[in-house]
C-alpha cells in the first residue's frame, strides 16, 4: 500500500528529481511531482510524493517543518481533491 504526500512551501528551483531525492532516504518513492503553472511552466511551490506507508509516515514526521533551501516545508498526507463548481471559462 502507498500514501500520497503533499509537500508545500518548496523552493521555486525544486525539480521532480530533487523532490524524489528528498524522500528516498525514508523509503521506496513511487513518484514525485512538482506542480507547475499551466501558462508559465514555473513551479507553484508545492508538489506530491507517492511512497510506501511506513516510509511516508516517517518522512512526514521528520520533514514537516524542516528547513530546505531556506524554506520551511509543510509536509502532510494529501487530501482528496474536492469537486469544485465550474468557474468562469478561460479564454
CATH code at position 56: 3.30.70.330
Identify whether 11 is part of a domain. Answer: yes
Q: What is the pLDDT of residues 21-65, one digit of tens each?
A: 999 999 999 999 999 999 999 999 999 999 999 999 999 999 999
CA distance 62 to 56: 10
16 in a domain, yes or no? yes
For the chain, how many structural domains are there in total? Answer: 1
Q: Phi and psi at residue 46, in whole multiples of 5°?
A: -150, 165
This model's pTM is above 0.75: yes
Q: Which residue has the cell 482528496?
A: 80
Specify the 3-state DSSP secondary structure of 57: helix
Domain span at residue 11? 2-77
Query: Is position 71 within any domain?
Result: yes
For residue 48, count other CB atoms closer than 10 A to its CB.
Answer: 15
Q: Is residue 63 part of a domain?
A: yes
Amino acid at each position: 500500500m502507498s500514501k500520497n504526500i503533499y509537500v508545500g512551501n518548496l523552493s521555486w528551483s525544486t525539480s521532480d528529481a530533487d523532490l524524489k531525492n528528498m524522500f528516498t532516504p525514508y523509503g521506496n518513492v513511487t513518484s514525485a511531482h512538482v506542480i507547475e503553472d499551466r501558462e508559465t511552466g514555473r513551479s507553484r511551490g508545492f508538489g506530491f510524493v507517492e511512497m510506501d506507508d511506513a516510509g511516508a509516515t516517517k518522512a512526514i514526521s521528520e520533514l514537516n517543518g524542516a528547513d530546505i533551501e531556506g524554506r520551511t516545508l509543510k509536509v502532510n498526507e494529501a487530501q482528496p481533491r474536492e469537486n469544485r463548481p465550474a468557474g468562469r471559462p478561460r479564454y
